[in-house]
C-alpha cells in the first residue's frame, strides 16, 4: 500500500526518533549563549553594537559577495532590494507563482504588481526558456524599458526563487534578463550555503535577499540580509534601512523616506554564532539527503527531490514528488497522523484572493507540482 511504503521510507531514513518529528527545527550548539549574554551584560541589545558589523562581514564572505546589509527579516530584505534596483509603483515584477507568499508581498509593498511565471520540474524554479518565449510574445522594449503589451505596465525586474535551497539556473535567467534589459535579483531566503556552478548562489545577479527566520537553515530569531557586489547599491541599502539619516554628530536630517529595518545587535550576535556552525549544518543536511535518497530508491509512489547537476544545494527543506496527482492530501493526512510533520508545497500565488487578478503566463507545470510535492522532516539534528 502507498502510505505504508512512504512511511517506511521516512522511518528508515530518520531512524528511531521521538514523534512528532517537526518539519524543521533550529539547532543551537555553538556560542549563541555566550554572544547573546554579552549583549545583555553590556546593554548593547538594540540598533547599535559590534555584532551587526561582524555579522555582515562574515556573511558577505560566506556568500562570496563584497557587501551584506542585515535587516529585520527576509521580506524587508526583498522589499528594499526591489526598491534599490528601481522597482516603482505600478511596475510589474516577474516572479514565480510557486513560492512562499513573502516574495509577492514584498513586490506589493513596493506598490508594484507581481507577474507570475512558470517553473521547471527539475528545480521548481523559474523556467528560463519558457519565460523568454513568453516575453517575446507579450512584451516590447521602448526607450530602454520593457513593457507588458497587454497591461501597458513597465516590467521592472526578474526575481527567481531558489526553492528549498536548490539554485535556479542563474546563467539561463541572466541571459533572459540581459536580452530584455531587466535587473536580475534573487529571493535566496532558502538557499544560504548553496552553490551554483561552484560559487555561492548569492553571488549571482545584482543582489540577493536571504532570511534568518527560525525555520531557515540558520536563524537569528528573525532576520534577513541584502547581499551584493555593488558598493553603490550596498550604501543605498544601508541608508534606506536605517531611516535615511545623513551622518551628523547631533542633527536629525533625513533625506528620503527610509525604513527602520536594521537588525538588532542581539539578533546579529545569534547570527554570528549560527554562521560559525553553518558548514556543520550543511554536512548534516547531506547526511539526511543520503539517507532519504537510499530509503526512497525503489519506492514506486514517489521520488526524492534532488539538486540539479549544476548545483550543490543546501537541501534546506527536503521534498518528495508524488507520482499520482490525486494522492497528496491523503498522503499528508497519513504522514502527519503517524507523527511526521509534513506539509504541501505553498498554495500557488495566483490562487490567493489578493493575487488572483495579477498577470500570469501558463502555469500548468506549477499547478501540477503543487499537487505533487510534499515536504518531509529536514531538521539539522537528524544528520548529526
The site for ligand PLP (CB under 6 A) is made up of 73-75, 99-100, 102-103, 161, 187, 189-190, 211, 213, 224
Cβ 373 to ligand PLP shortest distance, Å: 14
Which residue's Cβ lies closest to ligand PLP?
Answer: 74
Cβ 202 to ligand PLP shortest distance, Å: 14
Nearer to ligand PLP, 99 or 314 (CB): 99
CA distance 311 to 358: 32
What does the angle CA 335 – CA 340 – CA 343 come to, to the nearest 5 degrees? 70
Nearer to ligand PLP, 93 or 291 (CB): 93
Cβ 189 to ligand PLP shortest distance, Å: 3
CA distance 147 to 156: 9
Nearer to ligand PLP, 79 or 203 (CB): 79
Mention every residue, 6+ apart, whose C-beta is less than 8 A from residue 241.
69, 71, 76, 80, 226, 258, 259, 260, 261, 262
Q: Are 25 and 316 in contact (CB under 8 A)?
A: no
Give the cell for residue 1: 500500500
Q: Over the range 305-341, which residues count as b (16 or more CB within 10 Å of their CB) and which as e?
A: bbbbeebbbbbbbbbbbbeeeebbeebbebbeebebb
Nearer to ligand PLP, 109 or 381 (CB): 109
Nearer to ligand PLP, 157 or 189 (CB): 189
Report how far apart, in Å, the C-alpha atoms of 316 and of each of 95, 307, 313 are.
21, 11, 8
Q: Which residue has the cell 526518533?
A: 17
Nearer to ligand PLP, 68 or 146 (CB): 68
Cβ 213 to ligand PLP shortest distance, Å: 4
Q: Are 173 and 184 in contact (CB under 8 A)?
A: yes
Cβ 249 to ligand PLP shortest distance, Å: 34
Cβ 87 to ligand PLP shortest distance, Å: 16
Amino acid at each position: 500500500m502507498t502510505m505504508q511504503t512512504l512511511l517506511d521510507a521516512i522511518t528508515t531514513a530518520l531512524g528511531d526518533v521521538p514523534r512528532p518529528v517537526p518539519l524543521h527545527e533550529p539547532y543551537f550548539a555553538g556560542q549563541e549563549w555566550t554572544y547573546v549574554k554579552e549583549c545583555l551584560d553590556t546593554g548593547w541589545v538594540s540598533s547599535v553594537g559590534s555584532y551587526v558589523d561582524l555579522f555582515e562581514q562574515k556573511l558577505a564572505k560566506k556568500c562570496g559577495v563584497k557587501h551584506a546589509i542585515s535587516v529585520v527579516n527576509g521580506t524587508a530584505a526583498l522589499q528594499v532590494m526591489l526598491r534599490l534596483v528601481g522597482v516603482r509603483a505600478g511596475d510589474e515584477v516577474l516572479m514565480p507563482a510557486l513560492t512562499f507568499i513573502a516574495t509577492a508581498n514584498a513586490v506589493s509593498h513596493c506598490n508594484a504588481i507581481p507577474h507570475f511565471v512558470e517553473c521547471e520540474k527539475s528545480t521548481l524554479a523559474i523556467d528560463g526558456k519558457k519565460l523568454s518565449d513568453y516575453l517575446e510574445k507579450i512584451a516590447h522594449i521602448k526607450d530602454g524599458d520593457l513593457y507588458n503589451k497587454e497591461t501597458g505596465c513597465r516590467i521592472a525586474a526578474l526575481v527567481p526563487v531558489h526553492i528549498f535551497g536548490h539554485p535556479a539556473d542563474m546563467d539561463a535567467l541572466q541571459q533572459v534578463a540581459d536580452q530584455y534589459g531587466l535587473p536580475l535579483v534573487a529571493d535566496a531566503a532558502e538557499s544560504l550555503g548553496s552553490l551554483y556552478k561552484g560559487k555561492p548562489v548569492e553571488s549571482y545577479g545584482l543582489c540577493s535577499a536571504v532570511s534568518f527566520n527560525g525555520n531557515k537553515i540558520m536563524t537569528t530569531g528573525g532576520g534577513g540580509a541584502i547581499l551584493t557586489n555593488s558598493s553603490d547599491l550596498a550604501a543605498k541599502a544601508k541608508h534606506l534601512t536605517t531611516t535615511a539619516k545623513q551622518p551628523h554628530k547631533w542633527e536629525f536630517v533625513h533625506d528620503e523616506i527610509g525604513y527602520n529595518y536594521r537588525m538588532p545587535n542581539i539578533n546579529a550576535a545569534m547570527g554570528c554564532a549560527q554562521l560559525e556552525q553553518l558548514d556543520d549544518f550543511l554536512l548534516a543536511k547531506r547526511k539526511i539527503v543520503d539517507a532519504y535518497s537510499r530509503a526512497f530508491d525503489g519506492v514506486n509512489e514517489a521520488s526524492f527531490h534532488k539538486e540539479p547537476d549544476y548545483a550543490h544545494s543546501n537541501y534546506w527543506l527536503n521534498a518528495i514528488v508524488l507520482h499520482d496527482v490525486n494522492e497528496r492530501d491523503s498522503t499528508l493526512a497519513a504522514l502527519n497522523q503517524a507523527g511526521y510533520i509534513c506539509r504541501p508545497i505553498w498554495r500557488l500565488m495566483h490562487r490567493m484572493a489578493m493575487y488572483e487578478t495579477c498577470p500570469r503566463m501558463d502555469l500548468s507545470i506549477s499547478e501540477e507540482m503543487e499537487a505533487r510535492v510534499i515536504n518531509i522532516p529536514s531538521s539539522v539534528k537528524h544528520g548529526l
